[in-house]
């Protein structure tokens, strides 16, 4: 492993590493308004949700890396204590990129990027009408990490209202990840489209056996990946079966089991492996 000490390298290099390694990141399309009532719109990928009671989100309009200046979003929210967050979908992403350009303070990015202003119900800033998921929020706390180029400004906000477009809901009333079709930021100029990389992995509903209960032959198998073994353990228990009389080699047995695991035939995979438990 290569090592990088942020205190010994330029912050631009740290920025490149963090953005490439901590990904994909959801994007907050933050709508704000200055005290004179001028709208502003800007995307931020240093963003996430951190609680539900009350619902809390946080994003960071960092100081500009080249100039060290505060971004309009930060100045506006510190003035008014209000904002909206509109989630960006694939259909919106190219326009959203336009809104990230360094326009002068007071320029309306809704107009520049061709978005429609959606009047809010509990705050003054507008949401983005084209977004299927919009939050209205108030500022709870601002944490300043040094006022240097690239340094963070954490804006911790409480969500006051959520608006959800009906066509992204499934029959149970939950948001369908295929219908909302979000995008997320990777490193550099790269994005990813969430709906095209979906897979389902239910959370364990019971205590399952751990890797430590497996034999060394299975736990340290050079043929079974950690993913394969975890899929075996997801079944909930290690079966008690008679020792196998199969005389094939460990490699043959484990490769056969691996194929069964990949085909979701977990019971048969255990039968193949059980001679080594």
| pLDDT per position as a tens digit, 76-128 | 999 999 999 999 999 999 999 989 888 888 899 999 999 999 999 999 999 99
C-alpha–C-alpha distance, residues 126 and 151, integer Å? 27
- Stated as kind and residue range, the H or E segment containing 219 is helix 216-219
- Paired with 39 in beta bridges are 33
Say if CB 134 and CB 160 are below 8 A apart.
no
Q: For the chain, what's the residue count?
A: 277
Residues with Cβ within 8 Å of 15's Cβ and at least 6 positions away in sequence, in order, are: 65, 150
pLDDT in tens, 135-174: 999 999 999 998 788 899 999 999 999 999 999 999 999 9
How far apart CA 74 and CA 275 sit, in angstroms, is: 63
Q: Find the mean pLDDT for residues 172-189.
A: 93
**Nearest residue to 159 (alpha-carbon basis) of 123, 119, 117, 118:** 123
d(CA 216, CA 136): 53
- Inform me whether the pLDDT recorded for 217 exceeds 80: yes
**Quick check: 36 and 175 in contact, CB under 8 A?**
no
The correct CATH number of 11-197 out of 3.40.50.300, 1.20.58.220, 2.60.40.3080, 2.30.110.10 is 2.30.110.10
Q: pLDDT > 90: what percent of the chain? A: 62
Task: Note whether 76 and 33 are within 8 A (CB).
Answer: yes
User: DSSP label at 89?
Assistant: B
Domain boundaries, the chain: 11-197, 211-276
- pLDDT of 71 higher than 70: yes
- Angle, CA 147 vertex, CA 144 and CA 153 arms, to 5°: 35
């Amino acid at each position: 492993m290569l090592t990088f000490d942020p205190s010994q390298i330029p912050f631009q290099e740290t920025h490149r590493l963090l953005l490439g390694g901590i990904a994909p990141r959801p994007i907050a399309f933050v709508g704000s308004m200055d005290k004179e009532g001028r709208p502003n719109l800007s995307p931020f990928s240093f963003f996430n949700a951190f609680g539900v009671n009350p619902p809390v989100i946080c994003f960071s309009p960092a100081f500009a890396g080249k100039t060290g200046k505060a971004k309009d979003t930060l100045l506006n929210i510190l003035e008014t204590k209000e904002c909206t967050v509109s989630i960006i979908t694939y259909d919106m992403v190219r326009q959203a990129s336009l809104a990230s350009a360094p326009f002068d303070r007071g320029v309306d990015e809704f107009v520049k990027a061709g978005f429609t202003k959606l009047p809010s119900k509990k705050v003054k800033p507008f949401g983005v009408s084209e977004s299927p998921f919009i939050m209205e929020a108030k500022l709870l706390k601002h944490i300043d990490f040094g006022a240097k180029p690239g340094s963070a400004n954490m804006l911790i906000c409480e969500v006051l209202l959520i608006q959800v477009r009906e066509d992204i809901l499934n029959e149970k009333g939950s948001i369908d990840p295929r219908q909302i079709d979000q995008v997320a930021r990777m490193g550099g100029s790269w994005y990813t489209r969430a709906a095209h990389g979906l897979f389902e992995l239910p959370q364990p509903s019971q205590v399952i056996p751990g890797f430590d209960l497996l034999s060394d032959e299975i736990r340290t198998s050079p043929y079974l990946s950690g993913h394969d073994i975890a899929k075996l353990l997801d079944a909930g228990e290690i079966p008690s079966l008679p020792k196998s009389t199969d005389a094939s080699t460990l490699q043959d047995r484990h490769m056969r089991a691996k194929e069964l695991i990949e085909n979701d035939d977990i019971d048969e995979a255990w039968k193949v492996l059980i001679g080594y438990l």
